[in-house]
């Protein structure tokens, strides 16, 4: 085998990781694909894998004129390649998913994914679309579910816009039920896209439910999160340390 050539097994592994990323988030930009390849697949020459996957039908692409960018999603061969995934029959892509109103939020969720992967050992990441399968349309579903190796289940909420007080009250009420009554989650990681939104959310959430927020809500913004920091139990703390306190206090469901 010539130097620099990769085995068929390694090539399949790389493609599987890439299409798995698109399966999880439904779609991505070229920059996000290349970031994933560099950080998660761990190869520096990112363009080849994307171009090869496009050429072979693992990935499809279209140009969104309103966003002035190309949107990449699972191609037919990509769906076939990961047919073992439990939710693969529910995966589909429509151009409306990459609309102006949802694109900024999607980008923030993907950015949070990259940052969290750099700080935590995440065993499983389940996105909103998969969590919503079988649920009522109006039911509150988090933007993601993070499952850690010790079984901790953290709901992810990424906030890109201002929320009215009534909406936040329902938000808190829903998680009080999900955490205390049915043990669906152990904690909620609330990530704001901006520092201004973070400060406002922190103040209003603690005013609504100080005890729940102090014990079960990890608050951060993308800048803080990049440093691995969050606001928990009324103080700034590293995310890993906050999760350690959660476990020590017995606030992780058995």
The DSSP secondary structure of 63-129, one letter per residue, reads: EETTTTEEEEEE-HHHHHHTTTSTTGGG----GGGG-HHHHHHHHHHHHHHHHHHHHS--SEEEEHH
Q: Is the pLDDT of residue 156 over 80?
A: yes
Residue 74: strand pairing partners: 59
Confidence of residue 1 (pLDDT cuts 50, 70, 90): very low
Amino acid 3: pLDDT = 45
Judge contact between 144 and 109, C-beta under 8 A: yes
pLDDT digits (tens, 9 = 90+) for 24-66: 999 999 999 999 999 999 998 899 999 999 999 999 999 999 9
Amino acid 4: pLDDT = 62
pLDDT digits (tens, 9 = 90+) for 163-198: 999 999 999 999 999 998 888 999 999 999 999 999
Judge contact between 51 and 61, C-beta under 8 A: no
Judge contact between 81 and 16, C-beta under 8 A: yes
Q: Is the pLDDT of residue 138 over 90?
A: no
Phi, psi of 183 (to 5 degrees): 55, 40
In this structure, the dihedral spanned by the alpha carbons of residues 241, 247, 249 and 254, taken in order and rounded to 10 degrees, is: 170
Two tokens at 148? 């850690």
Phi, psi of 35 (to 5 degrees): -65, -45
Question: If DSSP codes are grouped into helix, strand and coil, which group holds residue 183?
Answer: coil
pLDDT digits (tens, 9 = 90+) for 238-248: 999 999 999 98
| Domains, the chain, ordered by start | 1-89 (1.10.10.10), 99-254 (3.40.1350)
In sequence order, the 6+-apart residues with CB closer than 8 A to the CB of 157 are 142, 143, 171, 188, 189, 190, 191
Question: If DSSP codes are grouped into helix, strand and coil, which group holds residue 145?
Answer: strand
Determine what percent of the chain is predicted with pLDDT higher than 70. 97
Judge contact between 71 and 54, C-beta under 8 A: no
Two tokens at 31? 């920059």
In this prediction, residues 200-221 reach a mean pLDDT of 96
In this prediction, residues 4-20 reach a mean pLDDT of 92
Judge contact between 97 and 27, C-beta under 8 A: yes
Amino acid 137: pLDDT = 77
Helices (H), the chain: 8-25, 30-36, 46-55, 76-81, 100-119, 128-132, 165-176, 195-208, 210-216, 222-226, 239-248
In sequence order, the 6+-apart residues with CB closer than 8 A to the CB of 20 are 82, 85
């Amino acid at each position: 085998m010539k130097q620099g050539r990769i085995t068929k097994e390694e090539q399949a592994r790389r493609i599987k990781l890439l299409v798995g990323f698109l399966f999880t988030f439904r779609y991505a930009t070229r920059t996000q694909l290349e970031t994933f390849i560099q950080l998660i697949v761990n190869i520096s020459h990112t363009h080849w894998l994307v171009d090869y996957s496009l050429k072979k039908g693992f990935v499809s692409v279209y140009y969104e004129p309103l966003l002035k960018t190309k949107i990449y999603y699972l191609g037919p061969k990509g769906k076939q390649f990961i047919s073992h995934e439990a939710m693969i029959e529910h995966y589909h892509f429509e151009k409306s998913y990459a609309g102006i109103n949802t694109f900024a939020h999607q980008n923030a969720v993907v950015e949070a994914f990259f940052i969290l992967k750099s700080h935590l050992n995440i065993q499983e990441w389940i996105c909103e679309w998969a969590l919503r399968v079988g649920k009522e349309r109006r039911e509150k579903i988090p933007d993601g579910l993070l499952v850690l190796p010790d079984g901790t289940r953290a709901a992810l909420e990424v906030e890109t816009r201002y929320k009215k007080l009534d909406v936040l009250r329902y938000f808190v009420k829903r998680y009080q039920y999900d955490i205390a009554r049915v043990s669906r989650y152990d904690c909620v990681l609330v990530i704001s896209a901006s520092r201004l939104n973070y400060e406002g959310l922190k103040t209003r959430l603690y005013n609504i439910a100080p005890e729940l927020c102090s014990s079960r809500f990890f608050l951060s913004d993308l800048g803080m999160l990049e440093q691995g920091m969050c606001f928990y139990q009324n103080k700034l703390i590293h995310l890993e340390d906050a999760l350690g306190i959660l476990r020590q206090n017995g606030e992780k469901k058995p």
